[in-house]
Chain A
């Protein structure tokens, strides 16, 4: 997403990125970043929470107009209402993503091969 923000900004649009990973967005040179400590998949908040979503959107858009210089960062103070362990599990897909499953399979295969090599020597 930082690559798209930079591309749009360079094309003449003012951009703001609302993200759960402001450290990454600023490191990758987003023009304006708004950080929010919500679980992945929920930059605006909970489903059905009109007031909460509006507050996040309003503050993020205001930052478009007030951010002073390239690389500006605003961190929103909102806290997620669920306990961390619940939210940590809830945002993740029910099945591991294909790349995670693939990496696990590779790691398991390498471990198996190491065991076999050790047994052979």
Chain B
């Protein structure tokens, strides 16, 4: 545990975690050129202790509930490779493994189809709720699909779907959000 580092976001210092370990070499240069946002980083301190906080989970694994919702539009992405589905799906917290559908075209889905907790830890968070480490796991988790086109079009997330999920989380009394990109 002594290897932990907790620092401010100085990206190009020597890091413990190599962000490019599992990518082709060319990505290192490509991502070095990302422009930081113009606006300052927003900040909401956790308003209650963790053992009282209601936590929502959000992933970009592009999963859905097979018995409740249609899949993401992976067929359109196959026809239009520069487009990615911007919509989202609700994953209720009582979802069982066999109800999870997956089809993200940019990763191998075998492991999350065996155990959804590798991308969306609903069952692990339920256990932390039972032991009292967190106040509650929110009734709903949310799944987006990470590939938003090339070049990425983040406007639908920003203008429509992000605010929609924020409103749903507010209605469910959420204090904090764990986001797990894949």
Specify which chain A residues have a CB less than 8 angstroms from the CB of B3 in the assembled complex. 77
CA distance A94 to B180 in the complex (A): 22
B68 within 8 A of A: no
Size category of the A interface is 35 or more
Specify which chain A residues have a CB less than 8 angstroms from the CB of B34 in the assembled complex. 24, 27-28
Checking B5, B19, B45, B46 against A20 with a beta-carbon cut-off of 8 angstroms, the contacting residue is B19
CA distance A21 to B7 in the complex (A): 15
B70 within 8 A of A: no
The answer on a CB contact under 8 Å between A50 and B124 is yes
B3 and chain A: residue at smallest CB distance: A77
A76 within 8 A of B: yes
The answer on a CB contact under 8 Å between B21 and A84 is yes
The answer on a CB contact under 8 Å between B114 and A48 is yes
> A8-B177, A35-B19, A77-B1 are known contacts. Are A42 and B118 too (CB-CB below 8 A)?
yes
Specify which chain A residues have a CB less than 8 angstroms from the CB of B81 in the assembled complex. 97-99, 101-102
**A-B contacts, CB under 8 A, total:** 265
The answer on a CB contact under 8 Å between A43 and B181 is yes
The answer on a CB contact under 8 Å between A7 and B22 is no
Min distance, Cβ B152 to any Cβ of chain A, angstroms: 9
Min distance, Cβ A46 to any Cβ of chain B, angstroms: 7
The answer on a CB contact under 8 Å between B41 and A41 is no
Q: Interface residues, chain A, CB within 8 Å of chain B?
A: 1, 3-31, 33, 35-37, 39-48, 50, 53-54, 57-58, 60-65, 67, 69-77, 84, 87-88, 90-94, 97-99, 101-102
Q: Interface residues, chain B, CB within 8 Å of chain A?
A: 1, 3-9, 11-12, 15-22, 31, 34, 36-37, 39-47, 49-50, 53, 55-56, 58, 60-61, 77-78, 80-82, 104-109, 111-112, 114-115, 117-119, 121, 124-125, 127-128, 133-134, 144, 146-147, 150, 154, 157-158, 162-163, 165-166, 169-170, 174-182
Rank and list the top 10 A-B pairs by shortest CB-CB distance, nearest first. Answer: A47-B115, A26-B9, A98-B81, A70-B41, A71-B9, A77-B3, A35-B17, A102-B81, A1-B181, A23-B19
What are 21 A-to-B residue pairs whose CB atoms are below 8 Å? Answer: A1-B60, A1-B144, A5-B179, A13-B166, A16-B176, A20-B181, A21-B31, A22-B15, A22-B17, A23-B31, A24-B19, A30-B41, A41-B107, A41-B109, A44-B119, A61-B128, A61-B176, A75-B15, A75-B17, A97-B81, A97-B106
